[in-house]
Protein backbone atom coordinates (compact mmCIF):
# COMPACT_ATOMS: atom_id res chain seq x y z
CA UNK A 1 0.00 0.00 0.00
CA UNK A 2 1.37 3.43 -0.95
CA UNK A 3 1.10 6.62 1.06
CA UNK A 4 -1.08 9.29 -0.53
CA UNK A 5 1.93 11.62 -0.42
CA UNK A 6 3.56 9.41 -3.07
CA UNK A 7 0.84 10.13 -5.63
CA UNK A 8 2.85 12.84 -7.39
CA UNK A 9 5.94 10.68 -7.72
CA UNK A 10 3.91 7.71 -8.99
CA UNK A 11 2.04 9.94 -11.43
CA UNK A 12 5.28 11.38 -12.84
CA UNK A 13 6.74 7.86 -13.20
CA UNK A 14 3.63 6.61 -15.02
CA UNK A 15 3.55 9.63 -17.31
CA UNK A 16 7.22 9.20 -18.21
CA UNK A 17 6.77 5.45 -18.72
CA UNK A 18 4.07 6.27 -21.28
CA UNK A 19 6.28 8.96 -22.84
CA UNK A 20 3.73 11.73 -22.34
CA UNK A 21 4.09 15.42 -21.58
CA UNK A 22 2.08 16.81 -18.69
CA UNK A 23 -0.39 18.35 -21.17
CA UNK A 24 -0.87 15.09 -23.07
CA UNK A 25 -1.32 13.14 -19.84
CA UNK A 26 -3.79 15.73 -18.52
CA UNK A 27 -5.86 15.32 -21.69
CA UNK A 28 -5.88 11.54 -21.26
CA UNK A 29 -6.72 11.74 -17.56
CA UNK A 30 -9.46 14.33 -18.10
CA UNK A 31 -8.05 17.02 -15.80
CA UNK A 32 -6.43 20.36 -16.45
CA UNK A 33 -2.70 20.78 -17.04
CA UNK A 34 -2.49 22.80 -13.80
CA UNK A 35 -4.07 20.04 -11.72
CA UNK A 36 -1.60 17.45 -12.99
CA UNK A 37 1.37 19.78 -12.57
CA UNK A 38 0.36 20.55 -8.96
CA UNK A 39 -0.10 16.86 -8.15
CA UNK A 40 3.35 16.07 -9.56
CA UNK A 41 4.76 18.80 -7.30
CA UNK A 42 3.22 17.08 -4.26
CA UNK A 43 -0.18 18.73 -3.89
CA UNK A 44 -3.18 16.52 -3.29
CA UNK A 45 -6.07 16.86 -5.75
CA UNK A 46 -9.74 17.03 -4.86
CA UNK A 47 -11.55 13.69 -4.68
CA UNK A 48 -12.90 13.77 -8.25
CA UNK A 49 -9.50 14.51 -9.80
CA UNK A 50 -7.87 11.97 -7.48
CA UNK A 51 -10.19 9.28 -8.79
CA UNK A 52 -9.52 10.24 -12.41
CA UNK A 53 -5.76 10.19 -11.87
CA UNK A 54 -5.58 6.84 -10.08
CA UNK A 55 -7.96 5.26 -12.59
CA UNK A 56 -5.70 6.45 -15.42
CA UNK A 57 -2.68 5.04 -13.59
CA UNK A 58 -4.47 1.70 -13.18
CA UNK A 59 -4.39 1.85 -9.39
CA UNK A 60 -7.40 1.29 -7.15
CA UNK A 61 -8.11 4.32 -4.92
CA UNK A 62 -8.07 1.97 -1.93
CA UNK A 63 -4.39 1.21 -2.62
CA UNK A 64 -3.40 4.48 -0.98
CA UNK A 65 -3.21 4.92 2.75
CA UNK A 66 -4.57 8.16 4.19
CA UNK A 67 -2.20 11.03 4.79
CA UNK A 68 -0.66 11.51 8.22
CA UNK A 69 -0.41 15.22 7.53
CA UNK A 70 -3.63 17.19 7.62
CA UNK A 71 -5.05 18.00 4.21
CA UNK A 72 -6.28 21.53 3.76
CA UNK A 73 -9.20 21.24 1.35
CA UNK A 74 -10.29 24.35 -0.46
CA UNK A 75 -13.98 24.25 0.41
CA UNK A 76 -16.53 22.70 2.74
CA UNK A 77 -17.66 20.09 0.17
CA UNK A 78 -14.01 19.06 -0.28
CA UNK A 79 -13.60 18.67 3.50
CA UNK A 80 -16.64 16.40 3.57
CA UNK A 81 -15.43 14.44 0.51
CA UNK A 82 -12.07 13.95 2.21
CA UNK A 83 -13.75 12.52 5.32
CA UNK A 84 -15.91 10.27 3.17
CA UNK A 85 -12.78 8.99 1.43
CA UNK A 86 -11.33 8.02 4.82
CA UNK A 87 -14.45 6.10 5.89
CA UNK A 88 -13.70 2.38 5.64
CA UNK A 89 -17.40 1.46 5.67
CA UNK A 90 -18.19 3.23 2.40
CA UNK A 91 -17.56 1.80 -1.04
CA UNK A 92 -16.01 4.04 -3.70
CA UNK A 93 -19.39 4.34 -5.38
CA UNK A 94 -21.09 5.33 -2.11
CA UNK A 95 -18.39 7.93 -1.42
CA UNK A 96 -18.86 9.44 -4.87
CA UNK A 97 -22.64 9.53 -4.54
CA UNK A 98 -22.62 11.16 -1.12
CA UNK A 99 -19.94 13.68 -2.15
CA UNK A 100 -21.95 14.55 -5.26
CA UNK A 101 -25.12 15.15 -3.23
CA UNK A 102 -23.20 17.31 -0.75
CA UNK A 103 -21.62 19.38 -3.56
CA UNK A 104 -25.00 19.88 -5.24
CA UNK A 105 -26.74 20.86 -2.00
CA UNK A 106 -23.91 23.16 -0.96
CA UNK A 107 -23.88 25.00 -4.27
CA UNK A 108 -27.66 25.36 -4.15
CA UNK A 109 -27.90 26.51 -0.54
CA UNK A 110 -24.66 28.30 0.38
CA UNK A 111 -24.85 32.01 -0.22
CA UNK A 112 -22.41 34.70 0.81
CA UNK A 113 -23.95 37.23 3.16
CA UNK A 114 -24.70 40.66 1.75
CA UNK A 115 -21.87 40.97 -0.71
CA UNK A 116 -21.84 44.17 -2.72
CA UNK A 117 -18.98 45.30 -4.89
CA UNK A 118 -18.74 49.01 -5.56
CA UNK A 119 -16.10 50.81 -7.56
CA UNK A 120 -16.17 54.32 -6.12
CA UNK A 121 -14.23 55.87 -9.01
CA UNK A 122 -17.01 55.00 -11.43
CA UNK A 123 -19.15 57.97 -10.42
CA UNK A 124 -21.21 57.90 -13.62
CA UNK A 125 -22.40 54.36 -12.86
CA UNK A 126 -22.80 54.84 -9.11
CA UNK A 127 -26.59 54.76 -8.88
CA UNK A 128 -28.65 55.96 -5.90
CA UNK A 129 -29.57 52.35 -5.01
CA UNK A 130 -25.87 51.49 -4.73
CA UNK A 131 -25.30 54.52 -2.52
CA UNK A 132 -28.17 53.43 -0.25
CA UNK A 133 -26.79 49.90 -0.06
CA UNK A 134 -23.32 51.20 0.78
CA UNK A 135 -24.78 53.50 3.43
CA UNK A 136 -26.70 50.60 5.01
CA UNK A 137 -23.60 48.43 5.03
CA UNK A 138 -21.53 51.14 6.67
CA UNK A 139 -24.24 51.66 9.30
CA UNK A 140 -24.24 47.92 10.06
CA UNK A 141 -20.44 47.92 10.33
CA UNK A 142 -20.51 50.92 12.68
CA UNK A 143 -23.14 49.26 14.88
CA UNK A 144 -21.16 46.00 15.05
CA UNK A 145 -17.96 47.85 15.91
CA UNK A 146 -19.77 49.88 18.59
CA UNK A 147 -21.03 46.63 20.17
CA UNK A 148 -17.50 45.21 20.21
CA UNK A 149 -16.07 48.35 21.77
CA UNK A 150 -18.83 48.38 24.41
CA UNK A 151 -17.88 44.83 25.50
The CATH number that applies at residue 9 is 1.10.260.40
Whole-number Å distance between alpha carbons of 30 and 18 = 16
Domain span holding position 23: 1-66
Q: What is the mean pLDDT of residues 32-56?
A: 88
pLDDT score of 20: 95
Indicate the helix (H) or strand (E) that contains 129: helix 128-150
pLDDT score of 112: 66
Helix axes of 76-86 and 47-57: crossing angle, nearest 10 degrees: 50
Domain total in the chain: 3
Q: Which residues pair with 2 in a beta bridge?
A: 64
The lowest-confidence range among 65-74, 93-102, 125-134, 142-151 is 65-74
pLDDT score of 141: 85
Residues 49-93: pLDDT tens digits? 888 999 999 988 777 766 555 555 567 888 787 778 777 788 888
Helix axes of 76-86 and 92-109: crossing angle, nearest 10 degrees: 160
Query: Which contacts qualify for 15-19: CB closer than 8 Å, 24 or more apart?
Result: 15/40
pLDDT score of 137: 81
Domain finish residue from 66, 99, 122: 66
Domain finish residue from 10, 31, 66: 66
- Same domain? 54 vs 2: yes
Residue 118 Cα distances to 45, 85, 110, 137, 143, angstroms: 35, 41, 22, 12, 21
- Same domain? 2 vs 46: yes
- Same domain? 55 vs 5: yes
Q: Classify 47 as helix, strand or coil.
A: helix
- Same domain? 80 vs 135: no
- Same domain? 106 vs 119: no
- Same domain? 59 vs 2: yes
Nearest residue to 89 (alpha-carbon basis) of 70, 62, 68: 62
Residues 5-35: pLDDT tens digits? 788 999 999 999 999 999 999 999 999 988 9
pLDDT score of 16: 95
- Same domain? 132 vs 145: yes
- Same domain? 62 vs 3: yes
pLDDT score of 77: 82
Local confidence band at 117 (pLDDT 50, 70, 90 cut-offs) = low
- Same domain? 136 vs 79: no
pLDDT exceeds 60 at position 121:
no
- Same domain? 98 vs 125: no
- Same domain? 3 vs 51: yes
- Which distant-in-sequence residues (6+ apart) come within 8 Å of 130 by Cβ? 116, 118
- Same domain? 50 vs 95: no
Residues 127-141: pLDDT tens digits? 677 677 777 888 888
Amino acid sequence: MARIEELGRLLRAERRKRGLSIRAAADEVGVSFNVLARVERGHLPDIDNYQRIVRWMGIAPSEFEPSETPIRPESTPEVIAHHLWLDPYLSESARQQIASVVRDMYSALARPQGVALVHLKAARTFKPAAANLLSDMLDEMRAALSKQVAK
